[in-house]
Amino acid sequence: MDRTKAPETSTTHSIVEALTRAIVEHRLLPGAKLAEQKLADHFGVSRTLVRQALFQLSQNRLIRMEPARGAFVAAPSVEEAQQVFAVRRMLESEMTREFVKSVTPAKIRSLKEHVQQEREAVAKEDVSGRTELLGDFHVRMAELMGNQVLAQLLGELISRCALITLMYQSRSEAQHSTEEHAEIVAALAAKDADKAVQLMQQHLDHVEASLIYDRKVPSHDIAIALT
């Protein structure tokens, strides 16, 4: 048995998690170069493990690998951004309808607690915290349904949305999003499937409507992003 395999897998996963969080929390911006040696030095690991982590991130479309140039945080095109939101509408509309069929007071309580955490993060101007919580609301719905496949798919889509909103969002929509989440929870609690689906669709419409697709792509340095 290879006793080094498990620690290496765990280390690769921790690098993937750290970089994903830096991207999702807008500390690492689209277009930023991910130099293997800098990452290896930062995490205290070999370049081989860094390369494995970067490959996983490229599979999730969070970074792009360019021959002879290296790895860069992905910069989604306008077309890709629109497609991501189209897929989210399809998935989350049906998820919302299915959620109503198995809604319980405990599930509603869990979502209400989550929305309260969102409000607190918004009030404290905790940008990274609210960014994570706003995305996690949608994943939490899937988890409460017991559908881990859906939760994973949504998690990947929402990570890509974090890049998209960073590149194209015209202004902070955090408070508005939290209010809309609360309205969705109220409709779910009332077991009003049609209204809940309508509110979810409107919510995603509003997020996409806040995007300006002719913005310049920002860039950032990895040393600052990971500190």
Higher pLDDT, 150 or 56: 150
pLDDT band at 225 (very low <50, low <70, confident <90, very high): low
Query: Of the ranges 29-38, 198-207, 215-224, which is most confident?
Result: 198-207
Average pLDDT over every residue of 187-196: 98
What span, in angstroms and rounded, lies between the C-alpha atoms of 21 and 131?
Answer: 10
Query: Of the ranges 8-22, 67-81, 119-133, 170-184, which is most confident?
Result: 67-81
pLDDT at 128: 65
- For the domain spanning 5-75+216-225, the CATH number is 1.10.10.10
Fold observed for domain 78-209: Four Helix Bundle (Hemerythrin (Met), subunit A) (1.20.120)
What span, in angstroms and rounded, lies between the C-alpha atoms of 121 and 203?
Answer: 19
Q: Are 223 and 39 in contact (CB under 8 A)?
A: no
pLDDT at 1: 37
Same fold yes or no, 5-75+216-225 and 78-209: no
In the predicted model, what is the mean pLDDT of the chain? 86
Tens digit of each residue's pLDDT (9 = 90 or more) over 19-54: 988 887 778 888 899 999 999 999 999 999 999 999
pLDDT at 164: 82
Say what percent of the chain tops pLDDT 90.
53
What span, in angstroms and rounded, lies between the C-alpha atoms of 32 and 25?
Answer: 14
pLDDT band at 172 (very low <50, low <70, confident <90, very high): low
pLDDT at 167: 72
User: What are the residue ranges spanned by the domains of the chain?
Assistant: 5-75+216-225, 78-209
Return the structure tokens found at 222: 């990895």
pLDDT at 8: 63
**In degrees rounded to 5, what are phi and psi of residue 24?**
-65, -35
User: Above 90 in pLDDT, residue 60?
Assistant: no
pLDDT band at 204 (very low <50, low <70, confident <90, very high): very high
